[in-house]
Amino acid sequence: MNKRLILLFSLISTFLFTSCFEFVEEVSFNKDGSGSAVLTINLSKSKTKLASIMLLDSINGYKVPSKTTIRNKVNEIVYKIKQTKGVHNVKNTLDFNEFIVTVSCDFDNVEALNEVISNFSSKKHIEAIKKNKHFTYNKENKTFTRSHHFDLGKEFQKTKNQDRKVFETATYTSVYRFETPIKSTENNQARISKSKKAIMLHLQAQDIISNKQSIKNKIQLEN
């Protein structure tokens, strides 16, 4: 039986669908600025489509990587993170049934997280990251800021129309936890929990791309 042929048919059904995926960033801080971070990419909602795609050689002109290639790539990323100074206890999971990837680690201070991002960036971007750090935690002022160094909307315009659809139904969620209560937040989309010790920002990728919403935030903690 021609497996590929059958999959071609299964693809017709899923081809026009956009994939849905969740991007979740969770960071818990200790009083001294150290903490732990978990990054989750969940593609479970598109698993039928992905299972079909995984059986193909290429799609939309892109080569479909094998499970081994993906596993190796993830291992490579984890290895690189492990090499970063100030980062410990790096763990990861990779679930090909549900298509969920997680990477977690402990860090001495947020600078280590910025270093991790720099390690995966080009020289040009490293310079930009230095000016526009993704994470800053000021112990004295008790402020935490989340930022980024690129214009997402602009980067997005560079991609092919066809590829942009992937992001149409994607979501971004960030949860930051602190030991001291949160006093205020600059991003009005973010919600502070009842205990005031956690803050969540849930956004549609579309809104981030079109610059309607931002993942940037400045959080002021109580003294």
Residues lying near other proteins in the complex (CB under 8 A) = 1-2, 5-6, 9-10, 12-14, 16-18, 22, 24, 26, 42, 44-45, 47-48, 51-52, 96-98, 100, 161, 165, 168-169, 173, 175, 177, 193-195, 197-200
Name 24's bridge partners.
40, 173
* C-alpha triplet 24, 25, 29: angle, nearest 5°: 150
Tally of CB atoms within 10 A around 126:
14
Rg of the chain on CA atoms, in Å: 19
What is the smallest separation between the CB atom of 133 and other proteins, expressed in angstroms? 24
What is the smallest separation between the CB atom of 95 and other proteins, expressed in angstroms? 9
* Burial status of residue 219 (CB atoms within 10 A of its CB: 0-12, 13-18, 19 or more): buried
Contact (CB, 8 A) for 105 and 89: yes
Nearer to other proteins, 126 or 198 (CB): 198
Nearer to other proteins, 74 or 100 (CB): 100
Nearer to other proteins, 8 or 74 (CB): 8
| Whole-number Cα distances in Å, 7 to 13, 20, 58, 130, 151 | 10, 20, 12, 47, 38
What is the smallest separation between the CB atom of 21 and other proteins, expressed in angstroms? 10
Nearer to other proteins, 47 or 134 (CB): 47
What is the smallest separation between the CB atom of 10 and other proteins, expressed in angstroms? 5
What is the smallest separation between the CB atom of 8 and other proteins, expressed in angstroms? 10
